[in-house]
Chain A
């Protein structure tokens, strides 16, 4: 099966903790993205990576970090500096800069 997988599906974090969300794709896509979705809002870009070992900040990168050591993987760390991390996080990938395909998402809740 080709596609994008995200884990875990649900994640609970205590205040002050860092947590890492996993995103893996076997579509052989060069580009990968992380978005945040809040209730009733659109998708906002956190970070994106055009190629392995390279990534750029999106519109709301503060409090987040990423790495891209392998083509298939683009993990997102939500740090304690992110003041309001409760949200639905979506990972996507594409062959270039246009058609993006999304994973199933991770719902993060801060306790």
Chain B
């Protein structure tokens, strides 16, 4: 069935380093790719999203890239800070008409001071 694979499952970096999380999707018709940040015990918060007509989008220290040919998209966080520590989820829209989101399994990011 339709699925989204996300890697790595855990990522540890030092403060100030960059972090990259990668996702692969299966449905070639997917056209919307959001990223969410989830802190412990809270609901996911949308941090950035990209649509299929764009290859890259940036918002301050966060950027997302999309390669539709390879069906890959990635989240890039530069100059990481301890408050970036959380679980990050990617998602891809699936289906025709009313599109649903299919989520990756999450990446736990730990930024050490």
Using a CB–CB cutoff of 8 Å, the interface residues on chain A facing chain B are 4, 6, 31, 40-45, 48, 50, 58, 90, 96-105, 107
* CB within 8 Å: A-B pair count: 56
Taking A50-B98, A102-B44, A103-B43 as contacts, is the C-beta distance between A42 and B106 under 8 angstroms? Answer: yes
Interface SS of chain B: helix, strand, loop or mixed?
strand
21 contacts between A and B (CB under 8 A): A4-B43, A31-B98, A40-B105, A42-B105, A42-B106, A44-B103, A45-B100, A45-B101, A50-B98, A97-B99, A98-B34, A99-B32, A99-B34, A99-B49, A100-B46, A102-B36, A102-B43, A102-B44, A103-B43, A105-B42, A107-B41
Q: Per-position contact with A for B20-40: 1 when CB-CB < 8 Å, else 0?
A: 000000000000101010000
In the complex, whether B73 has a CB less than 8 A from a CB of chain A is no
Known: A97-B100, A99-B49. A105 touches B43 (CB 8 A): yes
